[in-house]
Amino acid sequence: MSVNLKNNEVGIFALGGLEEIGKNMYGVQFQDEIILMDCGVLFPEDELLGIDYVINDFSYVLENRSKVKALVISHGHEDHIGGIPFFLQQMNVPIYADPLASALIRNKLKERGLLRDAQITEYNEDTVIKFRKMSVSFYRTTHSIPEAYGIVVNTPPGNIVFTGDYKFDFTPVGEPANLHRMAKLGDEGVLVMMGDSTNSEVPNFTMSERVVGESINDIIQSVDGRVIFATFASNVSRLQQVVETAIKTDRKIAVFGRSMENAIETGRELGYIDDHGQDVFINNRELNRYPAGEMIILCTGSQGEPMAALSRIANGTHRQIAIQPEDTVIFSSSPIPGNTSSVNRVINQLTDTGARVVHGRLNNIHTSGHGSQQEQLLMMRLLKPKFFVPVHGEYRMLRIQAKMAQETGIPEDHTFVMQNGDMLAVTKDYARLAGHFKAGDVYVDGSGIGDVGNVVLRDRKILSEDGLVIVTATIDYENKQLVSGPDIMSRGFIYMRESGDLINDMQAALKAAINRGLNESGNNVNERLIRDVVFDTIKPFLYERTERKPMILPVLLDINKGVRDRKSK
Q: Report the C-alpha gap between 202 and 400 in whole angstroms.
A: 10
The dihedral over CA atoms of 159, 371, 19, 332, expressed in degrees to the nearest 10, equals: 140
Please provide the DSSP assignment of 228-267 as one string. EEE--TT-HHHHHHHHHHHHHTT-EEEEESHHHHHHHHHH
Q: Report the C-alpha gap between 4 and 11 in whole angstroms.
A: 10
Q: Which helix H or strand E contains 216, and what residues bound it? A: helix 209-221
| Beta-strand pair 441-445/481-491 | unpaired
Residue 422 CB partners (closer than 8 Å, separation 6+) = 13, 14, 18, 433, 435, 436
Which residues are the active-site residues?
196, 370
The backbone region for 554, taken as left when phi is positive above 0, alpha when psi lies in -120 to 50, beta otherwise, is beta
Q: 3-state SS string over 129-177?
A: EECCCCEEEEEEEECCCCCEEEEEEEECCEEEEECCCCECCCCCCCCCC
Phi, psi of 473 (to 5 degrees): -150, 145
Q: Report the C-alpha gap between 393 and 198 in whole angstroms.
A: 5
